[in-house]
Amino acid sequence: MNTAFLLTGGNLGDRFKHLQQAFELIQQTCGTISQQSSIYKTAAWGITNQPDFYNQALELQTEFSPEKLMRQLLLIEETMGRKREVKMGPRIVDIDILLMNDIIINSSFITIPHPLLSERRFALTPLEEIAADVIHPVFNTSIKELLAECKDNLPVYKISPDN
């Protein structure tokens, strides 16, 4: 059994509904979600003139290899209507593998750990909520420590469906 930490997010349409749909599709097709973070709102990172993102970290128990998991997550994004038109542009859903066990992969298809995890407060904040003591296999540092050292100053707000 593999443990993968995922980040789901999106900034188009009903963002809560899309996060819930992604959760359900991951649970149905990839394994068992054992933990989920709160939902967080952040301004867009990279291309900033677009709607705010909602993000949630998930801990997934899966039999899938990293490559098979990535293929399935891309299929879920496609099923939900994700269009890859502008890199870092607006999207209905985005599902990233942040970490998987202590695996380090750097191929043309997949990179684990996510190469920009340590630079993105919007990913570290929800991940720290469910995996504070997990060690990043490249930096040999806990997620809690990476968040404390993160230089990204985009604000990250915990929200609820009522916000």
| Homologous superfamily assigned to 2-159 | 7,8-Dihydro-6-hydroxymethylpterin-pyrophosphokinase HPPK (3.30.70.560)
Nearest to 156 by CA among 47, 38, 49: 38
Nearest to 75 by CA among 108, 29, 109, 33: 29
Q: Is 156 exposed, middle or buried (0-12, 13-18, 19+ CB in 10 A)?
A: buried
pTM higher than the cut 0.75: yes
* pLDDT tens sequence for the chain (163 residues): 999 999 999 999 999 999 999 999 999 999 999 999 999 999 887 777 888 999 999 999 999 999 999 999 999 999 998 776 666 667 889 999 999 999 999 999 999 999 999 999 999 999 999 999 999 999 999 999 999 999 998 899 999 765 5
